[in-house]
Amino acid sequence: MSGLDSDGLREKLPVLRRRWDPVVLTVLCKDGPQRRRNLSQTVVDEGERIADGVLSEVLNRLQQEGFVAKETRSPNVVLYEATEAARDWVEWLRRVTDLSARAGKGAIAVTDDSSTHSAVDTTKPSSARVWNYLLGGKDNFEIDRKVGDEVRDANPQIATLALEQRKFLVRAVTYLAAEAGIEQFLDVGTGLPTANNTHEVAQRIAPKSRIVYVDNDPLVLVNARALLVSSPEGATDYIESDVEDPDKILRQAARTLDFSKPIGLTMLGILGNVADYDEARSILKRLVDVLSAGSYVVVCDGTSTSQENVDAVRIASEQGHPYNLRTLDQITGFFFGLDLLEPGVVPLTHWRPEVDPLPPAVDCYCGVALKR
Ligand SMILES: C[S@@+](CC[C@H](N)C(=O)[O-])C[C@H]1O[C@@H](n2cnc3c(N)ncnc32)[C@H](O)[C@@H]1O
């Protein structure tokens, strides 16, 4: 394989910040111990991004050697399942694909868990994947893109809304980490890894921050390792759970978070997945009740503030992707018993924006509140 001789790889890999396991080096470099030694020296702990094209070359070679089986789920999503022969170094493969996801190529995932693998249903749209499409990501299938396009036709603002939700996450988490001294986060309804995941924003400011992610989408689980690349001083964890099981979330989050100290609870675009408003409120209350004083709650959700948004959500629901818009009063009701920070419950774009004048409002309202 011309692209995989050690000189070629040496050129491409100086930016790879990982140790390549001997078994992989052997596969890649069968033609001599010296070459293998050179290659190992080249790839140890340098830089931070995996070079373009290298990952797919490596995975193709591993596939030829029978170490992974490749399945193309859509033009954008390729899953590799480690075979029996590769059982001992599945973790290694995962680390490589984490780097790929962090470099913005998150469409490749490796799993040795065929139940997770097969749980990725490409015939029905998923909230995480449609959202990923609207954000301009590649972790989505044809059905997600179809629903995403129809939703955007009904409400052309929706892609802006998705991007604004991420920007709100950045501003809110930055405020909590930089000004409120919060070093622990529970992010429920995480979404597929993208730029500015919660731990990246928090740990940029406070490297020892500890973050727990929660989602119930199998593709988020497959890609979750990209969320688990913590700073050495901090920690990240991932819980696969339905938001409707807050007790499970709390039990498992306690592995990583100290509930006797303040936590930032973020629930962005997730409570609308709970059909009944009172049920959504009681889930939130169950989570908030166990937070210590000094904790913060960050919530945003889609609202029925324009006919376009109502139409968009109706179309999505008809396509098998139901969502429940709330009224402004209902979003405000999520913060009952908490001290809402200025400017209160407002459209995403109006929460402490970094631009002046205020950008146009979007059909998604948010707030940040302190638990006293
Ligand atoms: C609209 S996306 C929001 C993603 C992210 N919070 C953001 O702001 O970009 C909603 C996320 O909630 C997850 N989700 C939907 N229903 C859920 C449920 N019942 N339990 C847990 N997670 C759920 C989806 O898988 C998806 O990742």
In a domain, 56, yes or no: yes
At which of 86, 119, 152 does a domain end? 119
> Does residue 260 have a pLDDT over 60?
yes
Residues 161 and 20 in one domain: no
Find, among 291, 221, 279, the residue nearest to 245 by Cα.
279
Residues 249 and 106 in one domain: no
Distance 212 CA to ligand 1 centre (A): 14
Res. 64 pLDDT band, cuts 50 70 90:
confident
Cβ atoms of 165 and 300 within 8 Å: the answer is yes
Residue with the larger pLDDT of the pair 299 and 141: 299
Q: Ligand 1: does its nearest atom lie under 6 Å from the Cβ of 165?
A: yes
Question: In one letter, which amino acid is 111?
Answer: T
Cα 350–Cα 302–Cα 268 angle in degrees, nearest 5 = 80
Residues 109 and 146 in one domain: no
Q: Ligand 1: does its nearest atom lie under 6 Å from the Cβ of 142?
A: no
Cβ atoms of 25 and 39 within 8 Å: the answer is yes
Res. 44 pLDDT band, cuts 50 70 90:
very low
In a domain, 128, yes or no: no
At which of 79, 104, 119 does a domain end? 119
Q: What is the pLDDT of residue 170?
A: 97
Within 10 angstroms of residue 211's Cβ, the number of other Cβ atoms is 30
Q: Ligand 1: does its nearest atom lie under 6 Å from the Cβ of 194?
A: no
Q: How far apart are CA 228 and CA 230, in angstroms?
A: 6
Beta strands 296-302 and 264-268 are: parallel
Tokens read off for 312: 């968009």
Q: Ligand 1: does its nearest atom lie under 6 Å from the Cβ of 111?
A: no
* Of the ranges 20-29, 55-64, 261-270, the best mean pLDDT one: 261-270
**At 224, which CATH number?**
3.40.50.150
The CA-atom distances, in angstroms, between 258 and each of 113, 118, 171, 230 are: 30, 35, 24, 17
Distance 267 CA to ligand 1 centre (A): 9
Q: Ligand 1: does its nearest atom lie under 6 Å from the Cβ of 169?
A: yes
Structural domain total, the chain: 2
The pTM of the full predicted model, rounded to 2 decimals, is 0.76
Question: In one letter, which amino acid is 354?
Answer: E
Q: What is the pLDDT of residue 111?
A: 45
Omega of the bond prior to 156 within 30 degrees of 0, cis?
no
If you take atom 27 of ligand 1, which residue's CA is the nearest one?
Answer: 191
Res. 104 pLDDT band, cuts 50 70 90:
very low
Q: Ligand 1: does its nearest atom lie under 6 Å from the Cβ of 217?
A: yes
> Does residue 43 have a pLDDT over 70?
no
In a domain, 251, yes or no: yes
Residues 166 and 34 in one domain: no
In a domain, 124, yes or no: no
Q: Which domain holds residue 54?
A: 2-119
> Does residue 300 have a pLDDT over 90?
yes
In a domain, 131, yes or no: no
- In whole numbers, what is the pLDDT of the chain averaged over residues? 80
Top mutation candidate among 168, 199, 215, 240 for ligand 1, by most atoms within 8 Å of CB:
215
Q: What is the pLDDT of residue 63?
A: 74
> Does residue 355 have a pLDDT over 60?
yes
Within 10 angstroms of residue 359's Cβ, the number of other Cβ atoms is 15
Residues 348 and 291 in one domain: yes
Residues 57 and 159 in one domain: no
Omega of the bond prior to 343 within 30 degrees of 0, cis?
yes
Residue with the larger pLDDT of the pair 184 and 39: 184
Q: Ligand 1: does its nearest atom lie under 6 Å from the Cβ of 128?
A: yes
Q: How far apart are CA 236 and CA 185, in angstroms?
A: 9
Residue with the larger pLDDT of the pair 285 and 86: 285
Residues 149 and 58 in one domain: no
In a domain, 72, yes or no: yes
In a domain, 353, yes or no: yes
> Does residue 12 have a pLDDT over 50?
no
Residue with the larger pLDDT of the pair 229 and 366: 366
Q: What is the pLDDT of residue 141?
A: 81
Residues 201 and 275 in one domain: yes
Tokens read off for 351: 């929460």
Ligand 1 atom with the shortest distance to the CA of 165: 8
Q: Ligand 1: does its nearest atom lie under 6 Å from the Cβ of 215?
A: yes
Distance 27 CA to ligand 1 centre (A): 39
Residue with the larger pLDDT of the pair 115 and 334: 334
Residues 159 and 96 in one domain: no
Q: Ligand 1: does its nearest atom lie under 6 Å from the Cβ of 166?
A: yes
Residues 106 and 146 in one domain: no
In a domain, 127, yes or no: no
Residues 77 and 178 in one domain: no
Ligand 1 atom with the shortest distance to the CA of 300: 8
At which of 87, 119, 151 does a domain end? 119
Residue with the larger pLDDT of the pair 108 and 303: 303
* Of the ranges 54-68, 128-142, 199-213, 214-228, the best mean pLDDT one: 199-213
Cβ atoms of 109 and 100 within 8 Å: the answer is no
Which whole number is the average pLDDT over 317-346? Answer: 96
> Does residue 90 have a pLDDT over 90?
no
Residue 303 carries which DSSP code?
B
If you take atom 26 of ligand 1, which residue's CA is the nearest one?
Answer: 128
Distance 323 CA to ligand 1 centre (A): 11
Counting residues of the chain whose pLDDT is more than 90, the rounded percentage is 56
Residues 306 and 211 in one domain: yes
> Whose structure tokens read 């609870």?
265
For residue 301, give the H/E element and its range: strand 296-302
Distance 183 CA to ligand 1 centre (A): 23
If you take atom 13 of ligand 1, which residue's CA is the nearest one?
Answer: 189
